[in-house]
Chain A
Amino acid sequence: GTANESDLEVLARWNRARASLMMLPHFDCHTPMFMPVGTQGTVKGLTTTQLEELGCQVILGNTYHLENRPGSDLIYQMGGLHKFMNWRRGMLTDSGGFQMVSLLQLAEITEEGVTFQSPVDGTRMLLTPEASIQIQNKIGADIIMALDDVVSSTVTGPRVEEAMHRTLRWIDRCIKGRDGEDTFLGFVWDLVEYAIGGVSGGEAKEAFWRVVEQCTAALPENKPRYVMGVGYPLDILVCSALGADMYDCVYPTRTARFGTALIPEGVLKLKLAAMATDLRPIDPTCDCMFTEKMRNSIIDGSFPEFVRDFLKKQFPAGDVPQWVCNALAAAGIQV
């Protein structure tokens, strides 16, 4: 069925920030949480055991890529993506719509769905809300997403309005499309994803935090709030202060491949000549994930201290960006 009342249980709160428990079919997740991107059924170079050891609770699969290779039919035959890649914890698949729009130039959006040109043979293919759900059902993630009408974040005016209403109509079709198809556990994402989705593009950060702020204020308490494509620690901190729960981004994986490590002070570029004789560990204080530390601070009431400590390390000169100060003020934290 659709998302039910006990999707998310808020365990602790500091003003708008919340630490919650989200029970998924495969795993009980503690939020706020970051979800690494495992585009094609693997998080770059890491074994599933290593991911568990890192404290990773949910990984993402990209429906578009998985449908290309190895194909949802094959995944279904192999018992679903969990079994295929031997991942015991949570999994989320996106609708596939975003990749089609971002990767393919010739995407066209109509009321029926997203039409695009096949990269394989050039034929026109249509991804409908129903088809997206069908593919995701075969992949079998814990959390599946409704196809949304994505508009570029630079677009303004009636097209945005149109996108919102179309997305709502598509969500209805998605929910209908699931009937009888539910071979795996999973639930369709609510309005949440739409509401916050699409803000991670190129807007000014000021506009970004205001959108998140308005969304989290308007959304029901017992539903998880997922900010798609957000991965910079500072952004995660601000969104969490405003009451968001889940994040995903290729940023940590991608930046790692370029030789950059995330540290409390910002980033460490390990390719720099100065690093050649630096025998210290990447981060001597590193013992657990950033979001885990943040979660603990919400639970034990030290969240504002955590925020201030974080900012002090990232901005030792005290030059915290104005948008961060504004957002945190809205979250009840004075920087």
Chain B
Amino acid sequence: MTVLQFAVQTTVGAARHGLLSLPQRGVEIATPAVVLYTRRGLPVHLTADLLRTLGPDARSLQVNPVHFLESPGPDIVQVAGSIHDLLSFHDYALFALTSDPLEFEAGGTTTKTSASFETPAGRRSVTISQYMEVINAMKPDVAASLTDEILATSSAKRTIKSVDRSLRWLDSCLDLRATGSLDLPIFGSIQGGGMIAERERSACETAKREVAGFHLGGFGRGETYEERSLLLQAAINHLPPEKPRHISGLGVPEDVLQGISAGVDLFDGSYAHRLTMGGFAMVFPPDEEEDDVAFRNGVHVALGSAVAAQNGQAKGNGVIGGMANGGGGGGRNESAQRYAAEVGEADADGATLVELKSHRGRERGRDGKKDKVGKGELPEEHGGVVSGAINLRSTAYRLDGRPILAGCECFSCRNHSRAYIHHLLNTSEMLAQVLLDIHNIHHYLRFFRATRRAISEMRFSEYCNWFLKRRLDCSNGRPASQKRFVMEECHSRQKYSEKASLLPLSVGTF
């Protein structure tokens, strides 16, 4: 018997803090929450024992039915009993979701009867009956309906078709639930691309069905920040407040805050995985209370010494040796900091570029270029902070004996230094991603916890303002995220102008 209970506890505007309970699993998920990203049921680099050390917030996982359709296949999952049995994860909430922002590639051969997916074994089409066969074998706690994913920039005709198709497929999913699991909670997938009217129609129609919640598809795929707010609003306004809402494609903290502000409850966790694969560790301030001197030192000195050390090393002037004696004082260190200040601008630009690149990667269908960012090929040439993430591949961390983030309670920060993780990355040792994943997931969970607290204490907008400002600070004075939005907007606008029927665009406010 699958039971999914959801209760909204506090709201601030559209933002809400709630509790999603699965009594049969003994799992309670406080929302807003992240559903951790997996490839085959486990976060890519973590064994079950390490996952457990991440605490009660790390108890909801995304499992991708398309991956399980491919291998081991529904018949074998069936023999195991369920996906919980196969993974030996009986006390975890498993969400069957096909959306994978790291695999998405538009322009596949989606047809009337089958959706097209990029999988670890190549592209494949999945029919509705294949999809429900694997879902029925997996018996997850929640399954999203099969949906026709498109870009925000898809044509009006294509967008309308996607909404129609997704609704038809939702009806089929509901029909095809096996007799034994008629109670399987289905999240209805909402599409509508970049069109307000279609988002509204998709939401209204989906809400009429027997669904347990909603999956908001097609976000983070070419829409601007402002457009996204309107699109989210258009859909969520038509959803019943008592049912949970999941979104994929929004992972960057600013985007998550935007989603929460619009009333989204559950987010996909691929952002943490993407950072790990690039050798990045999150160091943005997660919480107002914890934003103390330790944090300021942690990030700002890191940025300063990072840049200085990198340059110092290139010139062979021995800055490295000076650093080894500890971060404080000393003539060398002073000049290093001064130098950091001088080159800081350039660094911030580089940082922004990276975030931009990874963001644009989601639209790779446009120019046909395959995005490899998710597979660990982020550019290596920048030593400092990328919107609150540090790149531990940088030689700047060779001799940095400090933890990733001062005061962080995660296993990696309690036990290991930046220098050690840098060495592991440098020698392509598996433990590098293990330690990065632990920290990144821990930190991301901390961020979501902070958003929940802010909502429950009725100070969510203050929290957002504080967060955006602090992210701005730790991007070395540059509004990295906002700058990204501006550039993204230019990029999108050009594309938009080629299409009809889309949103009215507000003129550059940033």
Contacts and interface: CB of A to CB of B under 8 A. Distances in A.
Does B associate with A?
A: yes
Interface of A: 40-42, 44-50, 65, 69-70, 74, 77-79, 84-86, 276-277, 279
Given A47-B50, A74-B398, 9 more contacts: A40-B423, A40-B427, A41-B424, A42-B429, A45-B431, A47-B435, A69-B426, A70-B419, A86-B420
B430 interface: yes
Interface in B296-355: 324
B205 to A, nearest CB: 40
A47 B399 contact: no
B326 to A, nearest CB: 11
A78 B416 CA distance: 12
A276 B76 contact: yes
A86 B415 contact: yes
A69 B427 contact: yes
B411 interface: yes
A74 B417 CA distance: 13
Contacts of A50: 47, 49-50
A277 B80 contact: yes
Interface of chain A: mostly helix, strand, loop or mixed: loop
Interface string B85-129: 100000000000000000000000000000000000000000000
A276 B79 CA distance: 9
Contacts of B324: 77-78
Pick the 10 closest A-B CB pairs, nearest first: A45-B430, A277-B79, A42-B431, A40-B427, A70-B423, A77-B324, A86-B415, A42-B429, A276-B76, A69-B427
Nearest to A44: B430
Interface residues of B, number: 27
Contact of A41 (B398, B420, B430): B420
Contact of A279 (B80, B423, B424): B80
B401 interface: yes
Interface in B39-95: 47, 49-50, 72, 76, 79-80, 85
A49 B411 contact: yes
A78 B419 contact: yes
B434 interface: yes
Contacts of B429: 40-42, 44
B398 A84 contact: no
A266 B424 CA distance: 33
A279 B84 CA distance: 13
A86 B76 contact: no
Contacts of A79: 401
29 contacts: A40-B423, A41-B423, A41-B424, A42-B429, A42-B430, A44-B430, A44-B431, A45-B431, A47-B434, A47-B435, A49-B415, A70-B419, A70-B423, A70-B426, A74-B419, A78-B324, A78-B419, A79-B401, A84-B417, A84-B420, A84-B423, A85-B416, A85-B420, A86-B415, A276-B72, A276-B76, A277-B79, A279-B79, A279-B80
A241 to B, nearest CB: 34
B398 A42 contact: no
A287 B426 CA distance: 35
A69 B423 CA distance: 7
B417 A78 contact: yes
Contacts of B399: 74, 77-78
Contacts of A276: 72, 76
Contacts of B47: 50
A84 B76 contact: no
Given A47-B434, A50-B49, A70-B398, A277 B423 contact: no
Contacts of A277: 76, 79-80
A46 B431 contact: yes
A70 B434 CA distance: 19
Contacts of B419: 70, 74, 78, 84
Interface in B413-446: 415-417, 419-420, 423-424, 426-427, 429-431, 434-435
A50 B398 CA distance: 25
A44 B430 CA distance: 6
A78 B427 contact: no
Nearest to A257: B430
Nearest to B435: A47
A47 B431 contact: yes
Nearest to B85: A279
Contacts of B431: 42, 44-47
Contacts of B398: 70, 74
Nearest to A41: B423
A20 B434 CA distance: 35
Contacts of A44: 429-431
Contacts of B420: 41, 78, 84-86
Contacts of A70: 398, 419, 423, 426
B80 A48 contact: no
B298 to A, nearest CB: 19
Specify which of B72, B417, B423, B430 lies most central, judged by the most chain A CB atoms within 10 Å of its CB.
B423
A179 B385 CA distance: 45
A49 B49 CA distance: 11
Contacts of B85: 279
